[in-house]
């Protein structure tokens, strides 16, 4: 092609694109010692009516000033170097962003992973939040208008629609200037934007449709629409996406604006909570005061036949030290000559419950047993059931309660239904902390807090796999995320926390 010199300054290297509004060139700035590369956009009005040329020029200048402000304050929007008009056409000179459009990335590297689109969301939503804070709607977000910059991997938002709208300026029947065109790309713009009434969440819709393309490889026009709800049907093409991320995308592309995220900031907050869920708690530096002991627990023990004529011996079993912390000695009597486990550690299964026990025993490990009061009883016959009452009192010198001998995850239901205040009322800070952190532990997360780690290490079901930093938050279901937040807010509301963040 013939090399042009625009405005006696910008030497065209090649054409980057062309459309109904003009052409876009890659050019060198001959006035700069570095001969820096820049993008020159040639824009032409859709009408050559001299009467409205002045209106077009005024709008163009106003929108150019907005682009200058946006690009000057945010490095993920191209900087505006200059603007000028020549021969009835208008020109913008902008920063050249070296990188690949999202369309180019998919063509080169294939579909994006869930983690990659989550990162893209988190990097791009603050840009949209900034743009919207200036009362501007981009109106043409799509894979071709987001460039992943080579030098730092950041997404850059290009090609705002307001300038092109200026080129469509006409005078209506009332003599008022208006635009004769709708800015946006079919499939990527929502219905209200197609009707000429874009709102801030219209950009979130377009971004959501862009993300769907990255996950599925399908352009917006290739996806079906639910004939009853108007919602886009896409999930069957992205089975690798977790329900919680898919739900965030669905909310962004909801048919009606009222059902979408109201702002880019609201969507960003949701995605950041997914990426960084409320962390497990950190230890309190000062020891909490335990006011009173829990009520005594009574454990029924199935009698064992004694071949030695029911003789009994009182045996000192020893002292137990839990989790490396100072424990308390447990004196247990009523030990038969046949080796048996401590009655305080025995889990009574339904099939083992004697006939005179009418309700199952609830064992909630919360304090160290320090004294054990066991009545001495000589059974009159091998079939008699001895009754053992264990009085449990708090250990005043213990900073972290020990683990119990629970053999199953008591809080598995937190992964199956939503928690409510009735589930939490009456529980102390220690038990609430254990409830919340059990959700993390059930997915194999380790803990920085020694007390928490000691607690879960002593539970048979706990299988530590991930370090705290390497724990993949996508393992948490949406319901689990909600329960973590609910318990955390409940604890903050009532000041019930045994470990501090």
User: Which residue positions form the known binding site for ATP?
Assistant: 41
Rounded CA-CA distance 46/88 in Å is 11
On whether the CB atoms of residues 112 and 214 are closer than 8 A, the answer is yes
Q: How far is CA 63 from CA 70, 127, 197, 299, 497, in A?
A: 11, 18, 19, 79, 53
Residue in 75, 100, 129, 140 annotated catalytic: 140
Q: Are 420 and 411 in contact (CB under 8 A)?
A: no
| DSSP secondary structure string for all residues of 427-481 | --HHHHHHHHHHHHHTTTB--SSHHHHHHHHTSTT----B-TTT--GGGS-HHHH
71 phi/psi in degrees, rounded to 5? -65, -30
CA distance 11 to 27: 5
Active site residue 140: yes
Q: Where are the alpha helices (H) located in 29-113, listed in sequence order?
A: 50-73, 102-109
- 189, burial (CB in 10 Å: exposed 0-12, middle 13-18, buried 19+): buried
Q: In this structure, are strands 319-320 and 232-233 parallel, antiparallel, or unpaired?
A: unpaired
Tokens 């009159």 belong to 380
Residues classed as catalytic: 140
């Amino acid at each position: 092609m013939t090399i042009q010199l625009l405005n006696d300054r910008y030497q065209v290297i090649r054409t980057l694109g062309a459309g109904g509004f003009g052409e876009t060139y890659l050019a060198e700035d001959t006035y700069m010692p570095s001969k820096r590369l820049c993008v020159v956009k040639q824009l032409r009005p859709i009408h050559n009516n001299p009467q409205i040329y002045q209106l077009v020029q005024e709008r163009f200048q106003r929108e150019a000033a907005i682009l200058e402000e946006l690009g000057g304050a945010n490095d993920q929007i191209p900087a505006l170097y200059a603007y000028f008009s020549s021969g009835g056409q208008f020109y913008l000179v902008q920063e050249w962003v070296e990188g690949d459009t999202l369309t180019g990335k998919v063509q080169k590297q294939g579909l994006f992973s869930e983690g990659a689109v989550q990162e893209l969301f988190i990097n791009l939503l603050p840009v949209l939040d900034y743009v919207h804070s200036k009362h501007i709607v981009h109106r043409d977000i799509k894979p071709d208008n987001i460039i992943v910059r080579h030098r730092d991997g950041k997404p850059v938002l290009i090609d705002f629609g307001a300038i092109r709208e200026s080129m469509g300026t006409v005078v209506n029947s009332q003599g008022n200037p208006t635009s004769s065109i709708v800015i946006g790309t079919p499939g990527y713009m929502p219905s209200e934007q197609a009707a000429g009434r874009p709102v801030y969440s219209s950009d979130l819709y377009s971004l959501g449709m862009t993300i769907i393309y990255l996950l599925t490889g399908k352009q917006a026009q290739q996806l079906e629409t639910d004939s009853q709800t108007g919602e886009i049907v896409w999930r069957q093409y992205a089975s690798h996406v977790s329900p919680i991320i898919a739900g965030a995308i669905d909310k962004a592309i909801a048919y009606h604006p009222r059902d979408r995220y109201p702002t880019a900031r609201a969507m960003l907050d949701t995605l950041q909570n997914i990426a960084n869920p409320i962390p497990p708690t950190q230890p309190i530096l000062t020891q909490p005061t335990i006011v009173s002991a829990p009520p005594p627990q009574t454990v029924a023990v199935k009698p064992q036949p004694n071949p030695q004529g029911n003789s009994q011996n009182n045996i000192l079993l020893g002292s137990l030290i839990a989790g490396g912390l100072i424990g308390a000695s447990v004196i247990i009597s009523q030990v038969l000559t046949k080796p048996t486990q401590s009655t305080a550690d025995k889990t009574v299964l339904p099939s083992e419950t004697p006939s005179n026990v009418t309700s199952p025993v609830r064992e909630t490990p919360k304090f160290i047993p320090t004294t054990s009061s066991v009545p001495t009883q000589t059974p009159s016959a091998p079939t008699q059931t001895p009754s053992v009452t264990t009085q449990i009192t708090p250990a005043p010198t213990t900073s972290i309660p020990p683990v119990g001998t629970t053999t199953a995850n008591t809080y598995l239901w937190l992964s199956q239904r939503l928690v409510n205040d009735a589930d939490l009322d009456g529980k102390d800070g220690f038990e609430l902390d254990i409830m919340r952190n059990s959700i993390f532990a059930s997915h194999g997360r380790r803990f920085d807090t020694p007390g928490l780690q000691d607690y879960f290490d002593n539970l048979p079901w706990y299988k530590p796999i991930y370090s705290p930093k390497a724990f993949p938050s996508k393992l948490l279901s949406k319901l689990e995320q909600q329960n973590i937040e609910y318990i955390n807010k409940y604890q903050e509301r009532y000041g019930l926390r045994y470990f501090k963040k």
